């Protein structure tokens, strides 16, 4: 089965073809970062218009790379939500139009499920069951994954997501959008002893997160400087922030592994590309106490951020597990707000 995947939930347009026998055939991606940089964040109307411009050329590019004719596609998967309404509608309209023209079934995919399953695209994928840390600009959640469509929510952020805290704190330091990679890079040259920021909910005994207070601590630290921050000052603040957020993420993952008794941890989402997080998790996974050791898996770096490959793959896995989900109803149906628990309960 060859599945076409279409991703357009925010500021990346992604198209991919996945074959259940041969794996990922081809994918193409366009990022809108350069366009949104001057505004300091994503402008929904501009994002939607750019998806309109990019979708079909990327589709042609992907078909050419894969040497596949459109008529040979067996099904079309598209991001149905959550995301920006206008952006989602572009991907849905392309999917519905292609489905109608080619008489192919469609399947709407939850964006977060795409991220959850993306590490399975790696050359050495994890086996079920595993714990997944989904950590991105809009989401921070710990989940138990027992199979495709079999998800149990263990904990989530009560306010800001980790990626959101990265971006907001970077903005406080005057760094360009997107702030996450910028503040992480700056932190590498900072002194870890200058700023000891709080580790929110580190000892809460549950698996929930809270990062709004950490962002406030960064704001307070910045305001204490009597003059404009030097590059060295910014690096020190960045280091204190990054160390704090990484400590919390790693500790919660360790608690989840202990509580569930599982030995496989999967990291998904854009923050999963963060090198400090990867280094800290790798160190935790190789603990001196053998009983505390576990295996940690990451998506390929190109699949950490939004992409069409994860949607094509999630679509293929869902269609294999639940073929009744395929539909030839080509009416537009997107879900900008799609609570994850609804997917779990379904």
Residue ranges of the annotated binding site for substrate are 134-138, 167, 180, 274
Cα 291–chain centre separation? 30
Burial class of 149 by CB neighbour count within 10 A (0 to 12, 13 to 18, 19+): middle
**Cα gap 142→156, rounded to integer Å:** 6
In degrees, to the nearest 5, what angle opens at C-alpha 197 toward C-alphas 298 and 295?
20
Q: Which one, of 184, 155, 159, 157, lies nearest residue 169 by Cα?
A: 184
Annotated binding-site residue numbers for Fe cation: 111, 115, 306
Per-residue three-class SS string for 219-252? HHHHHCCCCCCCHHHHHHHHHHHHHHHHHHHHHH
Binding residues: 111, 115, 134-138, 167, 180, 274, 306
**Alpha-carbon span 255 to 85, nearest angstrom:** 36
Give how far Cα 74 sits from Cα of 94, 145, 193, Å: 16, 27, 57
Count of CB atoms within 10 A of residue 162's CB? 29
Task: Answer yes or no: are the C-beta atoms of 330 and 99 closer than 8 Å.
Answer: yes
Give me 145's structure tokens. 């994954």
């Amino acid at each position: 089965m060859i599945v076409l995947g279409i991703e357009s939930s925010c500021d990346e347009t992604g198209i991919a073809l996945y074959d259940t026998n041969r794996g990922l055939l081809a994918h193409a991606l366009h990022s809108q970062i350069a366009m949104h940089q001057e505004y300091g964040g994503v402008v929904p109307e501009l994002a939607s218009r750019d998806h309109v411009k990019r979708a079909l050329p990327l589709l042609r590019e992907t078909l050419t790379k894969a040497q596949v004719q459109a008529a040979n596609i067996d099904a079309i998967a598209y991001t149905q939500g959550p995301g920006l309404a206008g952006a989602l509608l572009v991907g849905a309209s392309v999917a519905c139009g292609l489905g109608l023209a080619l008489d192919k079934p469609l399947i709407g995919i939850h964006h977060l499920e795409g991220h959850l399953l993306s590490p399975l695209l790696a050359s050495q994928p994890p086996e079920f069951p595993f714990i997944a840390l989904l950590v991105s600009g809009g989401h921070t959640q710990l989940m138990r994954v027992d199979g495709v469509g079999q998800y149990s929510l263990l904990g989530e952020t009560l306010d800001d997501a980790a990626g959101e805290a990265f971006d907001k704190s970077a903005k406080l330091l005057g760094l360009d959008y997107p702030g996450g990679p910028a503040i992480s890079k700056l932190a590498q040259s900072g002194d870890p002893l200058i700023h000891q920021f709080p580790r929110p909910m580190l000892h809460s005994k549950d698996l929930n997160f809270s990062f709004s207070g950490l962002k406030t601590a960064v704001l307070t630290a910045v305001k204490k400087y009597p003059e404009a921050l030097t590059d060295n000052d910014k690096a020190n603040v960045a280091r204190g922030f990054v160390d704090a957020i990484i400590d919390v993420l790693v500790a919660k993952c360790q608690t989840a592994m202990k509580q569930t008794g599982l030995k496989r941890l999967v990291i998904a989402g854009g923050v999963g590309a963060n090198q400090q997080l990867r280094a800290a998790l790798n160190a935790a996974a190789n603990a001196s106490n053998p009983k505390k050791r576990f295996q940690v898996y990451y998506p390929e770096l190109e699949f950490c951020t939004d992409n069409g490959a994860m949607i094509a793959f999630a679509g293929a896995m869902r269609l294999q597990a639940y073929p009744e989900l395929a539909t030839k109803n080509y009416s537009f149906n997107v879900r900008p707000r799609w609570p994850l628990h609804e997917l779990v309960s379904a």
